Chains A and B, each alone.
Chain A
Amino acid sequence: MHNWDFAATLGDIDFLLLGLWNTLQVFGLALVFGIPLGLAIALGRMSRIPVLSQLCSFVIEFFRTTPPLVQLFWFFFALPILISVQMTPFVASVLTFSIQSSAFFAEIFRGGINSIDKGQWEAAKAIGMTRPVCLRRIILPQAVKRMIPAFAERSIELLKTTTLISTVSYADLMFQANELASKTFRPLEVYTVVAVMYFFLILVFSQLTILLEHRLARSGEGTLR
């Protein structure tokens, strides 16, 4: 029977916390870049210009159907040769996850905007608003409220996907865990602690989501019945 000994793991908890901080950095930046990019792609897909709309559809489908790990490898190993620049694991990770999540966010934006009643567009037009003004002032404020649960779910998925960046040697939580496991020869304790850390991190996020959904349900705008 194995003798559980968390002393070595907990003694180096700073090392793991540094990894956690790096994970959160990539996660945060991917959201900061991914959400506006997602909106842009969604608007492109809904545009009346066929070339633009087809191009955006293709980008969405391509990034939704290829595994994130393949994308990461492509951006890390292939892109630097193609455009002959140095690629750090950090830049490759942020780039991959911004673009990957923007494809998913685009679909959420599109669904949200489409869910708004056509009459709203017509009313705005009737009082002389242009399409962009109507989108900004009438449609998006209503749509964003409906999109929040889907956004939160996607963000949690993104947080879990960031573990992949350990494979390109970026010092995220998972990578630090691998290092610590080989340093202390205590894989069981290290990986268990890391699993628990991820569990609580994501649990906090998902509980916040549930709270938010209930809050939105009360104001009559949620998706919860």
Chain B
Amino acid sequence: MSDAHDGVDGRADDDDASPDGGHASATPSTHTVRLELVDEPGQLLAALQPIADNGGNLLSIYHERGNKTPRGRIPVEVDFEATQERFEGIVEALRTEGVNVMQAGTERYAEEVTLLLFGHLIDTDLSDTLSRIEACESASVADVSLAAPQGTEEASSARLRLEARAGETEAALAAVRELAEEKELRLVEPLTGVEA
């Protein structure tokens, strides 16, 4: 399974759905599962059904059709929101339905947070921005999407998915806030904890 996604992915290789200890919150958080599917019609839908049926709110599906797993199947990465309790139910339901769950949840990083930055991201050295976020103890940069439709001279936007240690989302956001201020970038923070 060679997959560019893993390169920027700070998650520990944990194949277990066990939650991060002591964080049984009723607040939904974002979870990522990696599935492998047989390349046949209807397989993707069948895999998503248990997520929806068990109270998961689908956020994104990354269907890596160009890639194959070592078993010749197609890797699919699914992001969804669910409480920790429902998340466990979802993983169990997926496995019951015969879907191969390659990776679910994380040990090291319990919380995910997505945020947007806009402004002169390229002029202010985006890779430096990312490595300084990465250097912060609380969080790791899991995913970056950049949109610079007007070229490098005009304002551009970036979406960052950070993975934060349990209970440290606020500290991670504070670090990004400080960095954005220093580089005169605008930060669009998520409304954390109220995403009902």
Same complex for A and B? Answer: no
User: What residues of chain A have their CB less than 8 Å away from a CB belonging to chain B?
Assistant: none
